[in-house]
Structure 1
Amino acid sequence: MELERLMRIFFLLASLSAFNSIDWSMAKNSRHPDHHMHVGVILDMESPVGEMAQKCMTMAISDLNATPSQNNHPLKLILHPRNSKGQPLKALFSAVELLENEQVEALIGPQTSEEAELLGELGDRVPIISFSASCPSLSREKNPNFIRMTTNDNSQVGAIAALVQKFGWGELVIIHEDSSYGNGIIPDLLIALHEGNARVVHRTVIPPRARDIYVEAQLYRLMALSANIFIVHMSPSLASQFFIKVNELGMMSTGYGWIVTDGIANELSVMDQSALDSMQGVIGIRPYIPPSKRLHNFSLKWRNSFFTSQHHQLPEVNVYCLWAYDSVWALATAAHHSGATTSIEKKDSANKSAHLAAIPTRPTGSDLVHTILRGKFTGLSGEIQLKNGQLQQPQAFEIVNVFRGVKRIGFWTQFNGMTTRLNRSTVAVQSPSVRDMGSIGWPGSSLVIPKVQRIMPKAGKRLRIGVPIKVGFKEFVGVELDPVTNATTVTGFCIDVFKAAIDMLPYEVKFDFIPFTNSNTFMAGSYYDDLIYQVYLQQYDAAVGDITIKANRSLYVDFTMPFTEAGVGMIVPIETTRSKNMWIFLQPLKVDLWLVIGAFFVFTGWVVWTIEHNDNNEFKGPLAQQIGTMMWYSLSTLFFAQREKLISNWSKVVVIVWLFVVLILTSSYTANLSSMLTVHQLQTLPNGKAIGFPFNSTVDQTALINLPFKNPYFHLVATVEDYANALRNGSQKGGVSAIIDEIPYVKLFLSKYSSQYTMVEPSYNSTNGFGFVFPKGSPLVPDISALIAKLREDGKLHLISQNWFQNRSLFTNQDSATKVARLDSYSFRGLFLITGITSTVAVIASYKFRKKQSTTAQHEVADQPVEETFPPVGDIPSRRTSFKHIRRYSY
């Protein structure tokens, strides 16, 4: 690229030198009329877009002259077209010639980004308006008078990424032109695809004037990689050559997917038929032009006026033609408001040695630019409003499919994403699935969305998977060598997880497990680091085992998502002690539960007394005696059967339900009190200084200085049995007081010795769990990570763990609570609700029943003749007679 830039500068200087010797005698010596504005137009007249753009601008001038508002003003635009033939140097030469010879006030149409970049050298002298140069590197910061009457290439990357995501393509290849136009979109496109969870696994760059043999060689490389999903960004002329070769090599068949950017999609209507036939099945993105009455009238006028001998049929008006038309209108409107006219005198023949530096700055140039940038009007292409010197992103992009013609299959908007249709305000009204996006014709006349084929660096190769040879904890990785057959058998939890993930891949991956051996088969401290380093050196294609994810290791290799729990645990013995608290009998229940139980005792006694005291002599007597009987009856339900007999069935129902509640409460109290009287307490601060530390541990010993021990020293242990023996002996007998290790190892140990030891999780250190190791940039890493997450969600990881760790999951919390939870009222709210409702209903029902009986008795007495009888004098009750005898004569 630097060599090409130097050559351009060289040719530019040469052309300017030649320009100095031009004979300007053919130029006009008279001054242009004051009320005319001369505009230079630089196009590639030999291209379909250039030819159509020139015609559109001519029609724009015609429409301007016919507009009444313009007839009232004497300003007229005069266009001076020049043919650049698509060559930047020729475009620059034409621009200089127009400035000197025709004294133009503005330039329209550097058609390509390369031409616009070169003409930018004139940007401080004259306004330059381009309707097709879309390279992101072109900006007003570099060229203050450059105006882009077209969209920036980066505006379409969101639509492309959304389309890739909608089709479910996780990997793809980008093919782009090696030019400022082709390279400019790549950074933002890569970011957009990455945000959509798509990965670009390869990029192919093709020079603008590449020969067929070069294009063919690049396509063969892509075929060797088994790539089948592509995004193509190049100029239409190169795209025509490219897709013809693609079709010839059979890459436009079933299973392939192609997406082209707007530079190609905008010119589908003017492409050669041979190129269009080679693009059957291609998906394209292009700006959506909303329909309008003005656009409809222009299309009718276009059909009636367009005719050239080079076209056998009328080409469809494309967006570049509309933007060229709107560019003329924008310039004319700005000149009308600013009053710009040609006022520079033509230099006489004595000043023939003019050169680029001698071209004066047009005094009206900056005014024209500011007026255009501030203007806002409705053109053929929709609302025209410029920001930062360029046309704003269109409200919507349309998605087209080249399949027996060019048809629209959907839309994309920045705020609503994919949609099948737009309302009148170009707002998406629904978000479709792929099936709703219309009938999409894919390469090979297929109607099925192509699936991504895995792109592997070495297709067909069996992966060499390094596995560690372990002394202990073989439940994670166990390597057995048959001395007779010399065959190696690799088993373990890590191996099963890896195989389960590989089996779920949508493509086949063949592999062999290779035990990693060095000079010392027994693992030294750097054993795992040596294994990882061999992966870095590509001696192994991956490493599988209980390999801890660490930051310093990630500098050399890539890790998958962890498939075990992260962190560090400390194993300590469980000691049994008896509580010596004299008030421990109150602790099983919380205060709120004690209060609720007491309240319900009183409530239940009151309910029984209310129902029974009218008819049951056991619940009668003086007030104090009745209160005592009520409380006695309720509280005695805790211990034995009551001596008071119940008469009412309602009270019996209440007592039965209450006895059930009492049974549950007493059982819970007894169980909780028993647990509290004999409590398992953790030895969280072990007596002694010796701490067990495993061989080859990834836990940094320097990070353990905050341990709750004074001057601890570390005792190395290797196997599960070593752990148990060291803890059993204790620090005083040559053993250890505690063992610190990663949580997976700790839980494996506790699955065998959970009754004697438990785990506490310290906060002073943590690790990231176990992961599988792959070389940097391996395409398997994201896929395996995603499948590990799926294994975890589906519960398969839990089942594999249970299979290896004595039906105890490696992911189940190993809680060893040192305190027994106290019971509260919330735990028994259901029981209290049942007895409360039962008691309330019984009281209400008994009251209504007694009231009904009283009413019936009164009616029976009223129906009988009244006989006044008086009791004998001796039978008249005294004041000391009980209350029940008084009620007997109350009638």
Structure 2
Amino acid sequence: MKTIWILVLVVFYNGISLNGVATNVPTRPPFVSIGALLPFNSTIGKVAKVAIQAAVDDVNADPSILGGTKLRIKMQNADKSGFLGIIDALKFMETDTVAIVGPQSSVTAHAISFVANELQIPLLSYSSTDPTLSSRQFPFFVMTARNDLYQMAAIAEIVDYYGWKEVIAIYGDDDYGRNGIAALGDKLAERRCKISFKAPLTPAATREEITDLLIKVALTESRILVVHTFSSWGPVVFSVAQYLGMMGPGYVWITTNWLSTLLETDSPLPAGTLDDIQGVLTLRMYTPDSELKRKFVSRWSTLTSGTTAYGSNPMGLSTYGLYAYDTVWLLAHAINAFFDQGGNISFSNDSRLAAMRGGSLHLDALNIFNGGNLLRQNILQVNMTGVTGKVKFNPDGNLIHPAYDIINVIGNGIRRIGYWSNYSGLSVVPPETLYSRPPNRSSSSQKLHGVIWPGQTTQKPRGWVFPENGRHLRIAVPSRVSYCEFVSQVPGTDKFAGYCIDVFTAAINLLPYAVPYKLIPYGDGVNNPSCTELVRLITAGVYDAAIGDIAIITTRTKMVDFTQPFIESGLVVVAPVKKRNSSAWAFLQPFTGQMWAVTALFFIIVGAVVWILEHRLNDDFRGPPRRQLITILWQVTCNIICSLIDCSEMVPPHFYLFYILSNFVTISEFLNLHIIEVHFLA
């Protein structure tokens, strides 16, 4: 009888529950399955593996995060890329996995994102930073680290800050490398800079392939090299560059954050590797100093006890490890919000995959996560503070406040020379300090500390040299036998000297880019060559330009363009200084009152001297005083005009009177002009 009553009570209790009496208490599963797809032995993966496991343990140890629900994580060693990497990801999606942390490779992320869109399973990647992994095309792909679009913007601003205009891009020839360099080209173009030469390498490049490529790079003009590659063969690039003498003065090497990751993870690097990267600039994702970060950093040695990097060095903590740690916490907060909103873990068959049933692929085993869209929305709405700082997404699906450390490799370590942030550009002040101020992008506010460049020099490299494989301009030089001071060929050599050559060389050195040229003598060296014929040969394409004392005449200006003359030509240029209203007394304006007084005094003195000399011998200087005074004034005026013209032997005497009368009307306007330079030739 007691047994019967117990069964009745059990049934009654279950009925009440089914009728909704207990619906106010949300039912949460005891655990939630998530996956992690990463290569365990890569520079990034070995750090991320430890960080992800530590984050899962910390989340499970804090009951306030998921309300008693535990995270159950399964890690897959995706030590492969391409097709096999996609297969590893599909294995997770055969199970009841609500989200996947990874993949690490941007190439794999492109392919898996299509599957994630179909099955509505969020992908949270702390290392796939390809700018083309857009949230619009791949809504279920969430980039929990800094988009490479910002990293390329930082490099472009560094190039512009130092006044360089052209760079050479060395990169892996895959989606990650090509898309990153395409973003760099766009950011450089915004600052009127460009990529002058692209040097792609296969993802599995050998030392021989790298050597062949760097030899081509060494023959080009630019000396600003940006390396956007993988840490697996990135150090080989610098080893070969050191062997080829490309790590000396004049070169500038800028790398993306793969090098800073290598320095942090495998520090200290072997001495030979450090010698190869002296003076290199690299970027590192910026993480502000905080109590959470300091605690996690202090735990790192305990978490990695017994774990080493390549060789015998202990494994260091890179920024990717910090972002991997925050990714798990980000996902935990989103799952908690998902449960708070009444979400439940359930899967359903994909009708389109079910229609493809058959064969041995078993595609029908892949199920759609029914709550995937709600979980994705909660992921993008998370607002928390982690070890990397503020974790919040902007409307574009990127983390807010993107910033980078700018690092200079010096000696056995690194030195931070400044910061870059999307808020205020280059600065020596930490970015979080600038967020409280108005954004300032003026050139005067852009600052970096001093850099020790390759070759142990502190002088900023020019950034270019004359290319060895470029076409040289054919510049003709007249082989003159007279006026050798202007231009002449040095006897016994193919060199030229002279004033014109010195001016040309000085102008070339002032250019911010290289202009390769070759001077070619024109003429037989016995007679002065025809400059008109030389100009014609330029129009015919025989020469690209000419240097020398070539007179600028009308017929030649119709064929070619001349530079501004740098030798005085003797030409007269008359130009008005200021437009004034003409008046009868305008001729008084050029001189001051004192000048007119002195002029009048000299006029009287000259007239007196003329009268003294002519009075006794010339009848025109005799008679009434009025007549003598008029004669003196007239004679002095004529003498002044004739002395100015200085052409008494060339022009008949009656020309003087005609000259005076023809200019008397316009003399006021003439005096209103400013005479720059006047040369009268006899």
Q: Are residues 572 and 456 of structure 1, via their aligned partners in 2, closer, same or farther at CA, if it must alter by over 3 Å?
A: closer
How far 1:396 sits from its partner (Å)?
Answer: 3.1
Tell me, yes or no, if the aligned pair for 1:175 and 1:231 is still in contact at 8 Å. yes
2:322 corresponds to? 322
Q: Structure 2: 5+ residue runs without aligned partners?
A: 1-26, 525-529, 567-571, 576-581, 601-659, 674-682
- Match among 416, 433, 447 for residue 425 of structure 1: 433
Name the structure 2 match of 1:385.
392
In structure 2, the partner of 1:173 is 168
- Out of 344, 347, 357, the residue aligned to residue 347 of structure 2 is 344
- C-alpha distance in 1 between matches for 2:277 and 2:231: 12
Partner of 1:217: 212
Equivalence map 1:85-104=2 (5 Å): 85-100=79-94, 102-104=95-97
Deviation at 1:358, TM superposition (A): 6.4
Secondary structure of 2:282's aligned partner: strand
1:290-317, CA deviations, whole angstroms, 9 ceiling, x for partnerless residues?
Answer: 0000111111222222124444343332
CA displacement at 1:173 relative to structure 2: 2.5
1:429-471 CA-partner distances (Å, limit 9, x unpaired):
9999999955644434445444434132448x975214799xx
Distance in 1, matches of 2:374 and 2:182, equals 35
- The alignment status of 1:237 with 2:232, answered yes or no, reads yes
Offset at residue 216 of structure 1 (A) = 1.4
4+ residue runs over 6 A deviation: 345-348, 428-436, 478-481, 487-493, 505-510, 521-524, 527-530, 545-548, 571-574, 586-590, 663-668
**Residue equivalent to 1:140:** 135
- Give the aligned partner of residue 631 of structure 2: none
Map 1:125-136 → 2, pairs under 5 A: 125=119, 126-136=121-131
**1:293 corresponds to:** 291
Residues 384, 391 of structure 1: 8 Å contact kept = no
Paired residue for 1:452?
463
Q: How many residues align?
A: 539
**What letter matches 2:346 in structure 1?**
S
Q: Which whole-Å deviations, capped at 9, do the CAs of 1:694-750 have from their partners, x for residues lacking one?
A: xxxxxxxxxxxxxxxxxxxxxxxxxxxxxxxxxxxxxxxxxxxxxxxxxxxxxxxxx
Residue 360 of structure 1 and its aligned partner are, at CA, apart by 3.2
- Assess if the C-alpha contact under 8 Å between 1:148 and 1:389 holds in 2: no
Corresponding position of 1:108: 101
User: Aligned pair in 2 of structure 1 residues 279, 394: CA closer, same or farther (>3 Å)?
Assistant: farther
The answer to whether the Cα contact below 8 Å between 1:60 and 1:325 also exists between their aligned partners in 2 is yes
Residue deviations 1:541-590, cap 9 Å, x none?
54567699xxxx99xxxx99x6479xxxxx9999xxxxxxxx97688899
Q: CA 1:817 to 1:267, structure 2 compared with 1: closer, same or farther past 3 Å?
A: farther
**Alignment match, 2:279:** 281
Partner of 2:507: 501
- How has the CA–CA distance of structure 1 residues 821 and 233 changed in structure 2, closer, same or farther, with 3 Å as cutoff? same
2:128 is paired with a residue whose SS is: coil
8 Å Cα contact 1:258-1:283 kept in structure 2: yes
Unaligned 5+ segments in structure 1 are: 1-31, 470-474, 566-570, 575-582, 591-660, 671-754, 759-815, 823-891
Q: Which has the larger radius of gyration?
A: 1
Distance in 2 (CA, whole Å) between partners of 1:112 and 1:161 is 24
Q: Distance in 2 between matches of 1:584 and 1:204?
A: 72
Checking the alignment, whether the CA contact within 8 Å between 1:35 and 1:342 is kept in structure 2 is no
Deviation at 1:122, TM superposition (A): 0.9
CA distance in 2, matches of 1:33, 1:183: 45
Compared CA separation, residues 415 and 530, structure 1 to 2 (3 A): farther
Cα 1:345–1:369 change in 2 (3 A) is closer
Find 1:43's aligned residue among 38, 59, 67. Answer: 38
Q: 1:428 to 1:388 in 2, by over 3 A?
A: closer
Distance 1:145 1:432 in 2: 39
In the aligned structure 2, how far is the partner of 1:468 from the partner of 1:817? 48
Partner secondary structure for residue 29 of structure 2: coil
Once residues 145 and 421 of structure 2 are traced to their aligned partners in structure 1, the CA distance between those partners, rounded to angstroms, is 18
Q: SS at 1:176's partner residue?
A: strand
Tell me how far 1:284 sits from its aligned partner.
0.7
Determine the C-alpha separation between the residues in 1 that align with 2:297 and 2:401. Answer: 21
How far apart, in 2, do the equivalents of 1:351 and 1:585 lie? 109
1:382 CA displacement = 1.0
Indicate if the aligned counterparts of 2:223 and 2:252 stay in contact, CA closer than 8 A. yes
Deviation per residue, 1:740-796 (Å, 9 max, x gap): xxxxxxxxxxxxxxx9x99xxxxxxxxxxxxxxxxxxxxxxxxxxxxxxxxxxxxxx
Q: Assess, with a 3 A threshold, how the Cα gap between structure 1 residues 388 and 255 changes in structure 2: closer, same or farther.
A: same
**How far apart are residue 489 of structure 1 and its match?**
11
| 1:335-380 Cα deviation digits (max 9, x unpaired) | 11122443237999x9995644763321111111111112222121
2:348/2:368 contact within 8 Å kept: no
TM-score normalised by length of structure 2? 0.66
Secondary structure class of the residue paired with 1:307: coil
Give 2:303's aligned amino acid. S
Alignment-derived partner of residue 860 in structure 1: none
Amino acid at match of 2:463: V
| Structure-1 residue corresponding to 2:543 | 540
- Classify the secondary structure of the residue corresponding to 2:367: coil
Q: Aligned in 2, Cα 1:540/1:352: closer, same or farther, shift over 3 Å?
A: same
CA distance in 2 between partners of 1:512 and 1:316 (Å): 57
Q: How high is the TM-score relative to the length of structure 1?
A: 0.51
Q: 2:55 aligns with which of 60, 66, 77?
A: 60
Following superposition, the deviation at residue 817 of structure 1 comes to 9.4
SS in structure 2 at match of 1:70: helix
1:460-516 per-residue CA deviation (whole Å, 9 max, x = no partner) reads: x975214799xxxxx9xx9999xxx9x9999998x8853541365698966425559
Residues 277 and 346 (structure 1), Cα distance of their counterparts in 2 relative to 1, 3 Å cut: farther
- Specify whether residues 271 and 230 from structure 1 end up closer, same or farther in structure 2 by C-alpha distance, changes over 3 A only: farther
Aligned to 1:364: 371
Say if 2:219 and 2:469, in contact at 8 Å, map to a contact too. no
* Greater shift in the superposed pair: 110-119 or 62-71: 62-71
The answer (yes or no) to whether the contact 1:155–1:393 under 8 Å persists in 2 is: no
Question: 1:367/1:819 Cα in 2 relative to 1: closer, same or farther (>3 Å)?
Answer: farther
* Structure 2 counterpart of 1:531, from 532, 538, 542: 538
SS of 2:508's partner is: helix
Equivalences for 1:723-802 in 2 at 5 Å? none
Cα displacement string for residues 636-656 of structure 1 (whole angstroms, at most 9, x for unaligned residues): xxxxxxxxxxxxxxxxxxxxx
Q: Does 1:203 align with 2:194?
A: no
Deviations 1:260-295 (A, max 9, x none): 112332332124834445323221112211000011
User: Which of 413, 418, 421 is 1:413 aligned to?
Assistant: 421
Is this contact kept in 1: 2:156–2:187, CA < 8 A?
A: yes
For 2:253 and 2:574, the matched residues in 1 are separated by 65
The answer (yes or no) to whether the contact 2:122–2:142 under 8 Å persists in 1 is yes
Preserved CA contact (<8 Å) 1:467 1:543: yes
SS at match of 1:115: helix
Conserved in 2, the CA contact under 8 Å of 1:233 and 1:264? no
